[in-house]
Amino acid sequence: MIPSIEWTKDNKVKMIDQTLLPHELKFLEFDNFRDVATSIKVMNIRGAPAIGVAAAMGMALATIEYKDLPKERFIEKMEDAANTIRNTRPTASNLFWAVNRIWKIIETYPDNPHGLSDLVIEESQIMAQEDINVNKNIGKNGATLLEDGDTVLTHCNAGSLATVQYGTALAPVRAAIEEGKKISVIADETRPRLQGARLTAYECHYDKIPVNVISDTSSGLIMMLGKVNKVIVGTDRVTSDAVFNKIGTYLVALAAKDNNIPFYVAAPTSTLSLDETVEDVTIEQRDSSEVSMVLGKVQIVPDGVECLNYAFDITPFRLVSGIITEDGVFTPEELLKKYKNS
């Protein structure tokens, strides 16, 4: 897959418009942080690592816009920009992690906004490259869990499109195939935004990875019928007790447990928030219309009935067989031991 986001030579942020896939592969270009923030909110770009990089690049655009201001005004404006970006989507750790990482540079060089802008632009590009490297290592580590002939069920899209490139949950699949193993994917369609049907199926098909799409309600039966060897999902935030991921992940984890199928979570360390517990996390609630209208087009709920639209759910650690990071594969207990307070 081509990168989902990149910084252009003429200082713009270029991204795939994921709302148009699978029908159209179109790119958007933005020259200001407000448009980048909107693109995160309306999900032109989505997936925790990808929105982290978009946030960093949005901050870089803000430094360009404000670099001629006196120092105090510059900092004030950058604080506003950081808040605008932070207020787009509340659940993915990566968004906050990325803004904080850029903020550390802003704090260090408050006297020279011109040089600072160059540093922030450079840092956002380093973060984009790091994302790809991290995903490749997740792939290598996760591939050790996959055997020739395995079918991997995944939920939502935690592939190349959800990152800069290569993906997290799909990284072990890609790496195992690169190693010569025959692996196929089952993608849950993932109501209401259909990231599995539209995006996971698109990128697997694009990269010639065998894929079947199922309705979300089928995953239990498909596991019971023995058609799934492993489940691998991505995550938006890992706290000290649970994994937050796309709504529906918890039900997949329950079905996997009941059918003795290993349930793995691919998590770059930028997604770890191990000082938090489930109570600390805001689960994003999106507009009712995402559920009542299929892709904004066909209304499937009677007029006047409101829908509840939680975007993410919580999978307790007891349902998680292993967490795959760029450093290795860990049980939840091992993960806490390795990364908590580190």
Q: List Cα–Cα distances, 214 to 172, 190, 290, in angstroms.
A: 21, 9, 20
- The residue (of 183 and 311) whose beta carbon lies closer to ligand MRU is 311
Place of tokens 């209304």: 299
Q: Which stretch binds ligand MRU (CB under 6 A): 7-15, 46-54, 119-127, 209-217?
A: 46-54
Distance CA 36, CA 257 (A): 39
Nearest approach, Cβ of residue 201 and ligand MRU (Å): 14
Q: How far is the CB of 133 from ligand MRU (least distance, A)?
A: 15
Q: Give the residue nearest to ligand MRU (CB).
A: 234
Give the list of residues 6+ apart from residue 177 with CB closer than 8 angstroms, or none: 183, 209
Given 28, 30, 46, 97, the residue binding ligand MRU (CB under 6 A): 46
Q: Strand pairing partners for 233?
A: 265
Q: And the tokens for 113?
A: 């906004």
* Residues in binding contact with ligand MRU, number by CB under 6 A: 17
Among 1, 162, 175, 243, binds ligand MRU (CB under 6 A): 162
The token pair that represents 270 in the structure block:
């930028």
Does residue 48 interact with ligand MRU by CB under 6 A? yes
User: What DSSP line would sit under 56-80, residue for residue?
Assistant: HHHHHHHHHHHTTS-HHHHHHHHHH
Among residues 240, 51, 32, which one has the least CA distance to residue 128?
Answer: 51
Contact flag: residue 158 with ligand MRU (CB under 6 A)? yes
Q: Peptide bond before 22: cis, by omega within 30 degrees of 0?
A: yes
- Binding flag, residue 245, ligand MRU (CB under 6 A): yes
Out of 176, 246, 292, 317, the residue judged to bind ligand MRU by CB under 6 A: 246
User: x/- contact string, 138-157, with ligand MRU (CB under 6 A)?
Assistant: ------------------x-
What is the contact mask toward ligand MRU in residues 199 to 238, using x (rule: CB under 6 A)? Answer: -----------------------------------xxx--
Asked if residue 198 binds ligand MRU (CB under 6 A), the reply is: no
Give yes or no: 35 in active site: no
Q: Give whichever of 160 and 321 is closer to ligand MRU, judged by the CB atom.
A: 160
Which CB atom, from 151 or from 157, has the smaller least distance to ligand MRU?
A: 157
Number of neighbouring beta carbons within 10 Å of residue 231:
27
Regarding 98 and contact with ligand MRU (CB under 6 A), the answer is: no
Q: How far is CA 163 from the centre of its chain?
A: 6
Q: Tell me, what DSSP letter sits at residue 284? A: P
Q: Does 314 bind ligand MRU (CB under 6 A)?
A: no
Residue from the set 7, 36, 47, 188 that interacts with ligand MRU by CB under 6 A: 47
CA 266, 270, 275, 279 dihedral sign is negative
Which residue, 190, 196, 197, is CA-closest to 291? 190
Single-letter amino acid code for the residue at 108 = T
- Give yes or no for residue 239 binding ligand MRU (CB under 6 A): no
Least Å distance, CB 329 to ligand MRU, is: 17
Q: What is the dihedral of CA 245, 251, 255, 260, to 10 degrees?
A: 30
How wide is the angle at C-alpha 41 spanned by C-alphas 173 and 276, nearest 5°?
A: 70
Choose, from 150, 188, 216, 236, the residue flagged as catalytic: 236
The two three-digit tokens of residue 170, written as one number: 């799909």
Binding residues for ligand MRU, rule: CB under 6 A, are 46-49, 92, 156, 158, 162-163, 168, 195, 234-236, 245-246, 311
Q: Which residues are catalytic?
A: 236
